[in-house]
Copies of this chain bind each other. A is one copy, B any other.
């Protein structure tokens, strides 16, 4: 999950001096600095590239802006005249950021790249913004499956190329975020989430044999087994709602699990945080496991709570 952000004073200090959020993402010196900030402060085992999933629609020719405190806005009028292929020139600063981070990162710390999954990116492209129930994209998929399929196809190709170039620029592994996978019925989940991610995994591995890829189908719930089986991801990120015994039993034991602390209990802190950390640590003994949150860190999370969590994880 994104490690940098507004909960860090050193991030806020840089952000205040930068005109827009996208300027942060597309200025390699800034993006590299922000990527490194949480690793310097907390000594994490991995750094996560600071960027945004909506750089792909941008590189496909759809305008994207971020209103302060109000999330992204995309030009839905551009949906009918997207570029057939991604403009890698637009994404060049991100590849440069990866190179800069690699120069400064201790050799024992992994660097993770990422992209949004086609379904999640499409929900923003179709609605022009974030939506609580993804109704515009879900409706589009029901009413015009052909046109929706073409949009997904374009995102599969763009995302595959984008991840391959991230690997070539130096990331050790990538993560595919399907934040809005959880509102789909199982048949639609397979069509919109599982199949496109499977195609990305195949395309990336054709260029980068054995590339480590972490899938994060948030809200997959009872459909997690089919996601794992069909996508061929190396590891799977778990949201905080899933039953841990179910995940441990249903996901083959050689496959790494990642997760899944409730971001809200990290913000709440106290005894509840200790109990929740212990629950996660106890659930995944005896298999490859990456401790993480079950989704992104909340902006108003107190830093002492992050320190409390880390101390408990490291002592266990």
Contact = CB atoms under 8 A, between A and B. Distances in A.
Number of copies: 2
A265 interface: yes
Interface stretch (A79-87, A93-101, A180-188): A180-188
Contacts of A279: 185, 187
Contacts of A138: 262, 264
B145 A184 contact: no
Interface stretch (A23-31, A36-44, A267-275): A267-275
A244 B186 contact: yes
Interface stretch (A194-202, A204-212, A217-225): A217-225
Contacts of A71: none
A147 interface: no
A78 interface: no
B272 A241 contact: no
Contact of A272 (B143, B221, B224, B272): B143
A52 B224 CA distance: 34
Interface in A249-307: 262, 264-265, 267-268, 270, 272, 275-276, 279, 294
A243 B184 CA distance: 10
A66 interface: no
A246 B265 CA distance: 29
A240 interface: yes
Nearest to A270: B143
A149 B243 CA distance: 23
A41 B297 CA distance: 49
10 contacts: A135-B264, A138-B262, A185-B265, A185-B294, A186-B241, A187-B275, A188-B262, A189-B241, A219-B221, A221-B241
